[in-house]
Amino acid sequence: MSWTEEEDKKNQQNLTNQQGELFEEDNSGQNRNSDKESDSSKSSETRLDDNQQLWRLLEKTLSDNVIEKRRARRWKIFFRFTSLIILLCIVGLWLGRSALDSNVTGQNTVAIIPMDGVIGSGGDIDGNEYVDILDDVYRNPDLKGVVINMNSPGGSPVQAGIIYDAIRQKEKLYPSIPVIVVVEDMAASGGYYIASAANKIYANRASLVGSIGVISSGFDLSGLIKKIGVERRTFTSGRNKDFLDPFVPMNKEGKEKWQAILDETHQQFIDAVKAGRGDRLKITNDVFSGMVFTGQQAQKIGLIDGLASLHDVLNSQFPNDKQVIYGPKQDPLDEFAKKFGVEFATKLLSNAKLN
């Protein structure tokens, strides 16, 4: 094998070419790896940017939501506070007007006292409560008259007597101030007991007036429990302690004692009516029998003075006087709610249009 200079050059050039190719391959591989690393870093940065944007968006949304809730809460508090202020103003105006109405000064006034319902302690017409009302009425220095609007079937003779005595006492202390009773549907029994204390009594021609009597009723059930085989055991101290027991037959002594109590109470009623009505009363067999009369009949026997309504009496005898209503005390808020509800309903109905 022989070597020439030309072959040496060729071999050296081939070797150089091969080394160049290997170097290019290494460079291209490195370039590809660097490109992959670059792409990977770029994608990581992209994902990081997306997450940051998402967190920023979420943070902004939550922040806006909190701000909106705070704003809504502020408006809610504002409207509640405003509503409370308006309500307090309305209540204040109402109470102020009520105070002015009940304490009118500088103008002649006539007091109107409604008495509606059953007479009894803690009931519709309570004696002690109406005594306080009368005291309140007569504190007004400009009082010119008292009108009692009566509508009662009666009730407790004790409570009726308390009011009767209070009216008679006021008439003695203030003789120039007339007390007038106007009967609506009825002034019976204890209702008429109170009415008879007035200077004048008026009623409608169909009103029920009178019933000057006393009643006590019950049942004798002693035969019933014996019939059904029930034995009742009662222990008393005092032989008459159970004389009103419906399960025990009433003996003669108990009947006489109880009748005496009723008769005495009846006589007190009669004396009160005679003192109140005086010579105007025409005593007949029926007047004190417990019988009830119409207004027209009552006028004929002097139980009333005439036929007139509350409106007629006020217009004829107190035409220029301020009318002030005095009644049992009510809770101011309940009174306001009731009055406000009635006024609202009235306005609503007045504005309604019928098709």
pLDDT in tens, 191-247: 999 999 999 999 999 999 999 998 888 887 878 878 888 887 888 788 878 778 787
Q: Does 238 fall in a domain? A: no
Q: What is the identity of the amino acid at 154?
A: G
How many distinct structural domains can be found in the chain? 2
Encoded tokens for 218: 């019950």
Of 53, 76, 187, 194, the closest CA to residue 127 belongs to 194
Residue 300 has pLDDT above 90, yes or no: yes
Q: Does 1 fall in a domain? A: no
Residues 183 and 284 in one domain: yes
pLDDT band at 74 (very low <50, low <70, confident <90, very high): confident
Other CB atoms within 10 Å distance of the CB of residue 201: 29
Residues 172 and 198 in one domain: yes
Residues 47 and 185 in one domain: no
Q: Read off the DSSP letter of residue 280.
A: G
Pairing of strands 292-294, 208-210: antiparallel
Residues 125 and 90 in one domain: no
Other CB atoms within 10 Å distance of the CB of residue 153: 17
Q: Does 51 fall in a domain? A: yes
Among 102, 123, 143, give the residue marking a domain's end. Answer: 102
Q: Return the minimum-mean-pLDDT range out of 65-69, 150-154, 171-175.
A: 65-69
User: One of 156, 189, 196, 207 is an active-site residue; which one?
Assistant: 189
Would residue 189 show up in a list of annotated catalytic residues for this protein?
Answer: yes
pLDDT band at 3 (very low <50, low <70, confident <90, very high): very low
Residues 57 and 172 in one domain: no
Other CB atoms within 10 Å distance of the CB of residue 345: 10
Residue with tokens 């809610």: 76
Among 102, 120, 140, give the residue marking a domain's end. Answer: 102
pLDDT above 70: percentage of residues in the chain: 75
Whole-number average pLDDT of the chain: 81
Question: First-to-last CA distance in the chain?
Answer: 133
**The CATH number of the domain where 272 resides is what?**
3.90.226.10
User: One of 10, 36, 60, 241 is an active-site residue; which one?
Assistant: 241
Residue with tokens 């940065």: 45
How confident is the model at residue 242, as a pLDDT? 78
Q: Which domain holds residue 275?
A: 109-216+252-345
What pTM, to 2 d.p., does this model score? 0.66
CA distances from 225 to 158, 242, 249, 255 (A): 34, 17, 12, 21
Among 58, 77, 102, give the residue marking a domain's end. Answer: 102
Contacts 24+ apart (CB under 8 A), 227-234: none
Q: Does 131 fall in a domain? A: yes
CA gap 158, 3 in Å, rounded: 160
How confident is the model at residue 25, as a pLDDT? 52
CA gap 164, 276 in Å, rounded: 9
Residues 280 and 182 in one domain: yes
pLDDT band at 354 (very low <50, low <70, confident <90, very high): very low
At 44-66, the pLDDT tens digits run 666 666 677 777 777 778 777 77
